[in-house]
């Protein structure tokens, strides 16, 4: 997993892609830290938007995820395979153990783990950004995707905190890139009716579901489309047409999306 040529792009381009994503990570992390700092002392025990998780679980996961990505960057830097997590059980235990901590400990942990990740990224030479790495679920991806994976964690789970940050706050560049990524993963999905997607504010068009159709045409702001595709919305802010007819409530007609693991 350490052949620099296997990722398919020059090291300089890989490093530039990583640097662009790292800027977005720094901005998103700053917003996240401010949200957490403004929480009340009892807020972390309250439910998040994720079933079965409190806000404390979300924050513990974010901190441990940063450390897991440091492990992957260490693999890229040294060529020695360091697993993202020691085991699936260790990952879950880390979240459980950290969930109940008081706000000041959670905030400090989130800040320090984010700083460790930023420092690990800063130490990588250009060639290391092309090294293929293994995700905890088994698939292989290039190191220059690590910063974007962290950005996904920060932006999606910031919404999941249910603390005032919503998909409407996502940077347009993030929402647009995620719309394309999520639509590509769902394009051709078996059992999912064909849906044509149009982002009215950016002009982006995509489709999901089986090749036949599309049965539905869904339009709305890019952030609203991405929120629905990512499971952060039930279709709020979207318009749905079938055979050219506007349907009254998108939430009653939009298909159930398969999980994106």
Quick check: is 196 in a domain? yes
pTM reported for the whole predicted model:
0.95
**Phi-psi sector, 162: left (phi>0), alpha (psi -120 to 50), beta:** left
Residue 193: give the domain boundaries.
172-253
Span of 16-20, 158-162, 216-220, 255-259 with lowest mean pLDDT:
255-259
State how far the Cα of 54 lies from the Cα of 60, in Å rounded to an integer.
Answer: 10
How is residue 167 written in tokens? 């998909």
Q: What is the pLDDT of residue 259?
A: 82
The per-residue b/e assignment along 14-47, b for 16 or more CB within 10 angstroms, e otherwise, is: bbebbeebbebbeebbeebeeebeebeeebbeee
- Residue 70: give its domain's CATH number: 1.20.120.450
Which residues contact residue 84 at a Cβ distance below 8 angstroms, ignoring those fewer than 6 apart? 68, 69, 71, 72, 134, 135, 136
For 180-239, write each residue's pLDDT tens digit: 999 999 999 999 999 999 999 999 999 999 988 788 999 999 999 999 999 999 999 999
Q: What is the pLDDT of residue 97?
A: 97
**CA angle, residues 260, 166, 21, in degrees to nearest 5:** 65
Same domain, 31 and 127: yes
Quick check: is 260 in a domain? no
**Domain's final residue, options 165, 182, 205:** 165
Quick check: is 261 in a domain? no
Same domain, 180 and 146: no
Same domain, 85 and 142: yes
Quick check: is 258 in a domain? no
For 44-66, write each residue's pLDDT tens digit: 999 999 999 999 999 999 999 99
Q: What is the pLDDT of residue 261?
A: 63
Residue 2 confidence (pLDDT) above 90: no
For 5-43, write each residue's pLDDT tens digit: 444 799 999 999 999 999 999 999 999 999 999 999 899
Mean pLDDT of the chain: 95
Same domain, 151 and 195: no
Peptide bond into 259 cis (omega under 30): no
Does residue 168 sit in helix, strand or coil? helix
């Amino acid at each position: 997993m350490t052949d620099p040529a296997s990722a398919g792009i020059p090291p300089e381009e890989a490093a530039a892609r990583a640097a662009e994503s790292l800027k977005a990570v720094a901005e998103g992390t700053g917003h996240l830290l401010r949200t957490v700092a403004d929480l009340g002392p009892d807020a972390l025990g309250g439910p998040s938007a994720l079933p079965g998780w409190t806000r404390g679980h979300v924050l513990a996961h974010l901190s441990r995820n940063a450390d897991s990505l440091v492990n992957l960057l260490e693999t890229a830097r040294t060529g020695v395979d360091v697993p993202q997590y020691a085991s699936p059980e260790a990952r879950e235990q880390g979240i459980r153990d950290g969930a109940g901590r008081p706000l000041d400990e959670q905030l400090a942990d989130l800040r320090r783990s984010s700083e460790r990740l930023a420092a690990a990224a800063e130490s990588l030479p250009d060639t290391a950004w092309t090294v293929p790495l293994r995700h905890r679920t088994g698939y292989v991806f290039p190191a220059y995707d690590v910063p974007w994976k962290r950005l996904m964690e920060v932006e999606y789970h910031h919404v999941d905190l249910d603390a005032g940050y919503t998909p409407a706050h996502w940077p347009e560049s993030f929402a647009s890139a995620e719309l394309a990524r999520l639509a590509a993963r769902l394009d051709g999905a078996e059992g999912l009716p064909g849906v044509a997607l149009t982002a009215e504010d950016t002009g982006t068009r995509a489709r999901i579901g089986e090749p036949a159709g599309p049965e539905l045409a869904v339009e709305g702001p890019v952030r609203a489309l991405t929120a629905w595709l990512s499971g952060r919305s039930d279709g709020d802010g979207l318009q749905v047409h079938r055979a050219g007819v506007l349907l009254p409530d998108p939430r009653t007609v939009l298909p159930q999306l398969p999980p994106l693991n």
